[in-house]
Structure 1
Amino acid sequence: MIERRPVGTLLAHFTLIAGIVIVAFPIYYTFVASTRTIAEILAPPMPLWPGPHFLENYGQALFGGLGRIGGVDVSLLLANTTVVALAVAVGKIVISMLSAYAIVFFRFPLRMVFFWMIFITLMLPVEVRIMPTYKVMVDLGLIDTYAGLTVPLMASATATFLFRQFFLTIPDELVEAARIDGAGPWRFFKDILLPLSKTNIAALFVILFIYGWTQYLWPLLVTNSNDMNTIIIALRKMISFADAETEWHMVMVTTILALVPPVLVVVLMQRWFVKGLVDSEK
């Protein structure tokens, strides 16, 4: 029997509502600022309700170009960032699944040595590898290209480890049954492992998409042209040390637009994301 405690329930709801307000208010304030002019933003206190310049500000940002970043439209920045996030997420999942599949289901010399070499890279911070990687990108002529933005970020020891641990839970009887039915390595991977891994793939996709979307240091190094910037890099370039030189209404618009795609991915894939994290049926 569950004991009902009105005071405890009220306290829990109050704490939850307070937490939501604390987290959501800065986002709401940013949205309000994105619908007002720069003069209204710089003349405190700014009203806490949306202004009349929503369509004007968002239209200018998406299609009119921004002076602080060389006249580039935010729509192009969103496209660049989407390409990077999708390529990094899909690339990491594909490479990690194939790596884990080879390590678990194939017998070849030094396979565990190779696995631990992959795993040890988790102990190396990004800063240790970033200069040699940048030198390789320069030598290959991949600066200011989508390949330069995405390929160095695709390898993932974490995803390889997670897929390996999941593949180890596949019963040997299932593998033997597939062999008896004449399933080769590719068919076993495509028809059995992929369907069993879909919740894990969905959960990793959400995490890796956000990881790719929020990248800052690597895109900052590997892009020189404003046309190849991601939206995170553009946001930093839009902000000047002098308030008068910063188009704060455009900064707020760009910030809101930068939030929309990751939020949509999380909302649309929430069920699969949670299932992939907590589902114990393998």
Structure 2
Amino acid sequence: MIENRPWLTVLSHIILLLGVCAVALPIWIALVASTHTPEAFVQGVIPLWFGDHGAETWGKVLFSAAGNGVDVPVWFMMMNSLIMALAIAFGKIAISIISAYAIVFFRFPMRSLCFWIIFMTLMLPVEVRIMPTYQVISDLSLLNSYTGLALPLIASATATFLFRQSFLTIPGELVEAARIDGAGPWRFFFDILLPMSRTNIAALFVILFIYGWNQYLWPLLITTDDAYFTLVMSIKRMVSVADGAIEWNSVMATTMLAMLPPVIVVVGMQKLFVKGLVDSEK
């Protein structure tokens, strides 16, 4: 027998609403702050309702220099971040799925050792190998380039591991049937393996896109030209002003714009993302 406890339902809803408010409050403050003048924050009181300078601030941020030491508009930095995030996401998925395919379905000496060597690279993130990686990129003349932004971050042991575990669940009878039908390695990969991995690819794409979009340290090191500034690293530049007041309204507008692409990706691919994480028959 299930007991009906209205007070418990009310309490749970109140707790959930408080949680939503705690998460949404900083976003609301940032949105409101983008509609006020910078002087509104010098007074020590944070406004909680919209001001009269929203159109002016957002127009300036989007289509003219972002300000506070950043001489390119936000839409241009968003394009740089988008190129970097997409290159990292697609590059990681392509390399990882091919690596996992070779390790699972091909027989060659020391293939298990090759997999564990790939997996051990998890202990060497880009922050640990930052100096030799920078030296290699510098020697290849890839500083201030899209290739230099994305290439060192493309390899992914985690994605290789996830694809390998997924491929190990594929029955051997399916592989034998494909071989009997005359499917070669590439046809089996494109016609059978890729469609079966659709949800895995979607889930990984969401995670890897957000990973690439939120990169801060690596773009900060290898970009000195405004034309290759990414959005996340530029927010830090906008608040690091030696002389003069920080234009907090522009900073908050830029922060809101930096949130949009990850939110769009997560919302747009939510069903595939959840299915790729929890579906046992993916």
Pair in the same fold by TM > 0.5: yes
Give the match's secondary structure for 1:126.
coil
1:189 alignment partner in structure 2: 189
Matched residue type, 2:232: I
Alpha-carbon contact 2:104-2:164 (below 8 Å) kept: yes
For residue 110 of structure 1, report the CA deviation from its aligned partner.
1.3
Matched residue type, 2:238: M
Matched residue type, 2:10: L
Q: Could you tell me how far apart the structure 1 residues matched to 2:240 and 2:98 are?
A: 45
1:160 alignment partner in structure 2: 160
For residue 204 of structure 1, report the CA deviation from its aligned partner.
0.5
For residue 9 of structure 1, report the CA deviation from its aligned partner.
1.3
2:220 alignment partner in structure 1: 220
Report Cα offsets for 1:223-247 as digits up to 9, x if no partner.
Answer: 1112211111111111136695211
Give the match's secondary structure for 2:195.
helix
Alpha-carbon contact 2:70-2:234 (below 8 Å) kept: no
1:269 alignment partner in structure 2: 269
Matched residue type, 1:43: Q
Q: Could you tell me how far apart the structure 2 residues matched to 1:65 and 1:12 are?
A: 47
1:123 aligns with 2:123: yes
Q: Could you tell me how far apart the structure 2 residues matched to 1:228 and 1:159 are?
A: 27
Alpha-carbon contact 1:100-1:163 (below 8 Å) kept: yes
2:48 alignment partner in structure 1: 48
Give the match's secondary structure for 1:237.
helix
Give the match's secondary structure for 2:163.
helix
Matched residue type, 2:175: V
Q: Could you tell me how far apart the structure 2 residues matched to 1:158 and 1:134 are?
A: 23
Q: Could you tell me how far apart the structure 2 residues matched to 1:98 and 1:240 are?
A: 43
Give the match's secondary structure for 2:60.
helix
Report Cα offsets for 1:85-110 as digits up to 9, x if no partner.
Answer: 11101100010000000000011111
Alpha-carbon contact 1:41-1:249 (below 8 Å) kept: no
1:77 alignment partner in structure 2: 77
Q: Could you tell me how far apart the structure 2 residues matched to 1:186 and 1:2 are?
A: 55
Alpha-carbon contact 1:36-1:54 (below 8 Å) kept: yes
Give the match's secondary structure for 1:127.
coil
Alpha-carbon contact 1:69-1:234 (below 8 Å) kept: no
Q: Could you tell me how far apart the structure 2 residues matched to 1:187 and 1:51 are?
A: 59
Q: Could you tell me how far apart the structure 2 residues matched to 1:50 and 1:243 are?
A: 28
Alpha-carbon contact 1:69-1:226 (below 8 Å) kept: no
1:248 alignment partner in structure 2: 248
Q: CA 1:204–1:82 in 2, change beyond 3 Å: closer, same or farther?
A: same
User: What are structure 2's unaligned runs of at least 5 residues?
Assistant: none
> What pairs up with 1:54-69 in 2 under 5 angstroms?
54-69=54-69
Give the match's secondary structure for 2:183.
coil
For residue 2 of structure 1, report the CA deviation from its aligned partner.
3.6
Give the match's secondary structure for 2:240.
coil
Percent identical:
61
Alpha-carbon contact 1:37-1:53 (below 8 Å) kept: yes
1:210 aligns with 2:210: yes
Aligned length: 282
Q: Could you tell me how far apart the structure 1 residues matched to 2:216 and 2:184 are?
A: 42
Alpha-carbon contact 1:33-1:249 (below 8 Å) kept: yes
Moved more, 175-184 or 116-125: 116-125
Give the match's secondary structure for 1:61.
helix
User: What are structure 1's unaligned runs of at least 5 residues?
Assistant: none
1:279 aligns with 2:241: no
Q: Could you tell me how far apart the structure 1 residues matched to 2:234 and 2:120 are?
A: 34
1:31 alignment partner in structure 2: 31
Moved more, 19-28 or 39-48: 39-48
Alpha-carbon contact 1:34-1:250 (below 8 Å) kept: yes
For residue 70 of structure 1, report the CA deviation from its aligned partner.
4.1
Matched residue type, 1:270: Q
For residue 150 of structure 1, report the CA deviation from its aligned partner.
0.1
